[in-house]
């Protein structure tokens, strides 16, 4: 897979405070990457540097093989709360942003119409943006970000302000876009990241603390567990007591952490049959992204 | 000047749709018309509503047409400049503060085009309104007080437009550099307060942009010191160039202050 962007040692300082500290990562073409971290981790700062709104203190960015300072021609940017000129209609606004991004004036209107149609705003294109609902604003925000067909799409918390239906719609649109562009987005809603991502970048206090594909991170952080459902919490507690493996208990469920594929299920069942405990269900589970997030963010 | 026309179209639509294109000319027209009318009809107005005892006679000075035009300029110099400074102090700063500028700044636009689109719309609104107001004023002055020499009036108008460009540049520079509130204060101080200081202490110097309205009046009644006038115009034009270059510089520098 070809690399579209490589960020090397990016640092952004505000006085003595480091908002982003020596962050290095690459984005492959036509992939989507999630920047994950708690508030203040540096997600928006990284996106702002790429969008040309902030200048890094240190570090270089190679775009398509060349060291670049100004990405404004090749990116589309959607801030977390996009703000529009309330006195322009959706079509006027999208057409204006298309022209400003370098789309030929002759086809800018057509492109704007097509984009609004694609995002489901075809009926509202003649309405002033000041009358738009939250979901419509997010779509219009996306429209201005993609109307000029950028090779890199930067999205800051693209769905966190939306209701579940709006979130689902925008996520589906983003998945469609993935085929034609490279997406870098920040989020703290981990279900979204789990759903739409090729690469995860975990940030904490400006530092990149973990990166990899969902599978890689899950493998590294979450050893699988057996989730064993007992009829009462006393039984679960007794099992944890007699278990020769590292185990813990939550209510009536006992967890055995599996390391290097040990123990095997039949060993566990043997211990169970010796103990006369009544087991109702056993599951082999992997940790959710949320559990990994908490582990990564809390470590160190 | 890439993108200038797109940005200018946006400014134009904004000022049409928020009615600035209507109310700013109206303010200047109102003062332009009311000044000759008020001066002409003052005795009748006082008689009708002044509650004066029967037979009171006022000895009002006879105004020359030039004096009427200049008293209009005095109105413009206070209320007109107040409208310009407060009406446009947010022209760049407000966009930054409310976040609408963010989606402009992430595009490959030239900041020269960006600032000049604002400059052009301000020139159209402010200079256009003043010309409109003064032409209306000239008409009523002509009807009620007599004619003003056309050549002198053109010289006066040209000089006053240079002063207006200076005011516009100050407002634009402040808005590019500071937040809306501070930009309003700085513009007001530089336009109205310094003007007062120049009026009070200005006898000690003759070359100053703030003296241009006075020199404009001097051209109108043919009593201007050409050397001081030419130097003042030169200094003002230089100041305009510096202020506009500063506005472009700070508009670009303050991109990071836009709300994301």
- Render pLDDT for A16-63 as a digit per residue (tens, 0 to 9): 999 999 999 999 999 999 999 888 899 999 999 999 999 999 999 999
Residue of A20, A44, A53 to mutate for B, most B C-beta atoms under 10 A: A53
| A80: pLDDT strictly greater than 60 | yes
Q: B257 and chain A: CB distance < 8 Å anywhere?
A: no
Q: Is B9–A96 a contact, with Cβ atoms under 8 angstroms apart?
A: yes
Q: Is A96–B10 a contact, with Cβ atoms under 8 angstroms apart?
A: yes
The reported pLDDT for the residue numbered A90 is: 97
Q: Which of A212-221, B16-25, B88-97 shows the lowest mean pLDDT across its residues?
A: A212-221
Confidence tier at A137 by pLDDT (50, 70, 90) = very high
**Which residue among B7, B107, B259 places its CB closest to the CB of A72?**
B107
| pLDDT: which is higher, A225 or B181 | B181
Q: B109 and chain A: CB distance < 8 Å anywhere?
A: yes
Confidence tier at A163 by pLDDT (50, 70, 90) = confident
| Chain B CA closest to residue A101 | B107
Give the residues across from A17 on adjacent strands. Answer: A14
Torsion of CA A26, A32, A38, A40, to 10 degrees: 60
The reported pLDDT for the residue numbered A267 is: 84
Residue of B8, B106, B109 to mutate for A, most A C-beta atoms under 10 A: B106
d(CA A137, CA A129): 8
The reported pLDDT for the residue numbered B1 is: 52
| pLDDT: which is higher, A96 or A218 | A96
Please state the ipTM of this predicted complex.
Answer: 0.91
Structure-block tokens of residue B226: 């050409």
Which residues of chain A have a CB within 8 Å of the CB of B6? 96, 99-100, 105
- Shortest alpha-carbon distance between residue B189 and chain A (Å): 30
- Render pLDDT for A188-206 as a digit per residue (tens, 0 to 9): 877 778 888 899 999 999 9
E-strand stretches of chain B: none
| Chain A CA closest to residue B108 | A72
Q: B9 and chain A: CB distance < 8 Å anywhere?
A: yes
**Which residue among B103, B105, B256 places its CB closest to the CB of A144?**
B103
State the CB neighbour count (10 A cutoff) for residue A253: 16
- Shortest alpha-carbon distance between residue B92 and chain A (Å): 13
Out of A228-232, A240-244, A294-298, B177-181, the most confident range is B177-181
Share of chain A above pLDDT 90, in %: 52
Q: Is B99–A101 a contact, with Cβ atoms under 8 angstroms apart?
A: no
The reported pLDDT for the residue numbered A225 is: 79
Confidence tier at A217 by pLDDT (50, 70, 90) = confident
Which strands form A58-63's sheet, in the order they lie side by side?
A17-28, A3-14, A58-63, A66-67
Confidence tier at A222 by pLDDT (50, 70, 90) = low
Mean pLDDT over residues A134-162, rounded?
A: 92
Q: Is A84–B104 a contact, with Cβ atoms under 8 angstroms apart?
A: no
Confidence tier at B60 by pLDDT (50, 70, 90) = confident
The reported pLDDT for the residue numbered A73 is: 86
Q: Which of B254, B245, B83, B73 shows the shortest CA–CA distance to B172? A: B245
Which residues of chain B have a CB within 8 Å of the CB of A91? none
Which residues of chain B have a CB within 8 Å of the CB of A156? 260
Query: Mean of the per-residue pLDDT values for chain A?
Result: 89
Confidence tier at B260 by pLDDT (50, 70, 90) = confident
| Chain B CA closest to residue A155 | B260
Q: Tell me the three-class secondary structure of chain A, residue by residue.
A: CCEEEEEEEEEEEECCEEEEEEEEEEEECCCEEEEECCCCCCHHHHHHHHCCCCCCCEEEEEECCEECCCCCCCEEEECCCCCCCCCCEHHHHHHHHHHHCCCCHHHHHHHHHHHHHHCCCHHHCCCEHHHCCHHHHHHHHHHHHHCCCCCEEEEECCCCCCCHHHHHHHHHHHHHHCCCCEEEEEECCHHHHHHCCCEEEEEECCEEEEEECHHHHHHHHCCCEEEEEECCHHHHHHHHHHCCCCEEEECCEEEEECECCECCHHHHHHHHHHHCCCEEEEEEECCCHHHHHHHHHHCC
- Render pLDDT for B158-216 as a digit per residue (tens, 0 to 9): 999 999 999 999 999 999 999 999 999 999 999 999 999 998 888 888 999 999 999 99
| B50: pLDDT strictly greater than 80 | no
**Which residue among A75, A81, A87 places its CB closest to the CB of B14?**
A87
Confidence tier at A256 by pLDDT (50, 70, 90) = confident
Q: Are the beta carbons of B114 and A72 closer than 8 angstroms? A: no
Q: Is A84–B103 a contact, with Cβ atoms under 8 angstroms apart?
A: yes
The reported pLDDT for the residue numbered A275 is: 81
Q: B17 and chain A: CB distance < 8 Å anywhere?
A: yes
The reported pLDDT for the residue numbered A40 is: 87
Distances (CA, A) of B19 to B6, B33, B91, B173, B255: 20, 21, 15, 24, 28
How many beta-carbon pairs under 8 angstroms link A with B?
72
Mean pLDDT over residues A207-227, rounded?
A: 83
The reported pLDDT for the residue numbered A291 is: 74
Q: Is B9–A83 a contact, with Cβ atoms under 8 angstroms apart?
A: no
Structure-block tokens of residue B173: 């520079």
Residue of A49, A83, A86, A140 to mutate for B, most B C-beta atoms under 10 A: A83
Q: B258 and chain A: CB distance < 8 Å anywhere?
A: yes
């Amino acid at each position: 897979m070809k690399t579209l962007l490589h960020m090397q040692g990016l640092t952004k300082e505000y006085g003595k405070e480091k908002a982003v500290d020596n962050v290095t990562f690459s984005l492959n073409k036509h992939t989507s990457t999630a920047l994950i971290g708690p508030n203040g981790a540096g997600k928006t700062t990284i996106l702002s540097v790429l969008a040309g709104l902030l200048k890094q203190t240190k570090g270089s960015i190679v775009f398509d093989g060349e060291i670049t300072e100004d990405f404004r021609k090749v990116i589309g940017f959607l801030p977390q709360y996009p703000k529009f000129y309330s006195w322009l209609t959706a079509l006027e606004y999208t057409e204006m942003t298309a022209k400003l991004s370098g789309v030929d004036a002759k086809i800018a209107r057509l492109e704007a119409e097509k984009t609004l149609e694609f995002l489901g705003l075809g009926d509202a294109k003649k309405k002033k943006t000041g009358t738009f609902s939250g979901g419509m604003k997010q779509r219009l925000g996306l429209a201005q970000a993609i109307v000029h067909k950028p090779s890199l799409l930067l999205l800051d918390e693209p769905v966190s302000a939306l209701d579940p239906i709006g979130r689902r719609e925008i996520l589906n649109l983003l998945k469609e876009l993935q085929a034609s562009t490279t997406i870098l987005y920040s989020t703290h809603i981990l279900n979204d990241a789990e759903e739409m991502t090729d690469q995860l970048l975990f940030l904490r206090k400006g530092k990149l603390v973990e990166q990899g594909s969902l599978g890689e991170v899950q493998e590294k952080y979450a050893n699988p567990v057996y989730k064993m459902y007992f009829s009462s919490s006393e039984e679960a507690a007794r099992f944890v007591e007699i278990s020769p493996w590292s185990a813990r208990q939550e209510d009536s469920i006992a967890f055995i952490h599996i390391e290097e594929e040990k123990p095997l299920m039949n060993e566990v069942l043997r211990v169970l049959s010796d103990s006369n405990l009544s087991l109702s269900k056993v599951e082999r589970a992997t940790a959710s992204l949320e559990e990994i997030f908490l582990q990564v963010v809390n470590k160190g | 000047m890439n993108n200038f026309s797109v940005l200018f179209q946006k400014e134009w639509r904004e000022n049409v749709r928020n009615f600035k294109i209507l109310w700013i000319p109206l303010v200047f027209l109102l003062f332009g018309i009311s000044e000759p009318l008020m001066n002409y009809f003052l005795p009748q107005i006082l008689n009708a509503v002044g509650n004066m005892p029967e037979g009171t006679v006022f000895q009002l000075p006879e105004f020359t047409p030039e004096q009427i035009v200049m008293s209009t300029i005095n109105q413009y110099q206070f209320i007109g400049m107040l409208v310009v400074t407060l009406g446009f102090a947010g022209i760049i700063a407000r966009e930054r503060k409310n976040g609408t500028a963010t989606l402009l700044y992430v595009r490959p636009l030239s900041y020269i085009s960006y600032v000049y689109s604002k400059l052009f719309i301000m020139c159209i609104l402010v200079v256009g309104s003043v010309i409109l107001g003064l032409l209306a004023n000239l008409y009523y002055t002509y009807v009620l007080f007599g004619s003003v020499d056309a050549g002198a009036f053109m010289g006066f108008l040209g000089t006053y437009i240079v002063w207006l460009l200076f005011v516009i540049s100050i407002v634009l520079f402040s808005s590019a550099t500071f937040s809306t509130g501070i930009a309003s204060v700085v513009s007001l101080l530089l336009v109205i307060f310094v003007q007062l200081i120049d009026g009070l202490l200005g006898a000690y110097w003759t070359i100053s942009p703030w003296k241009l309205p006075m020199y404009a009046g001097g051209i109108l009644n043919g009593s201007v010191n050409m050397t001081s006038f030419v130097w003042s115009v030169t200094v003002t034009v230089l100041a305009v160039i510096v202020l506009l270059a500063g506005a472009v510089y700070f508009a670009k520098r303050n991109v990071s202050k836009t709300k994301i």
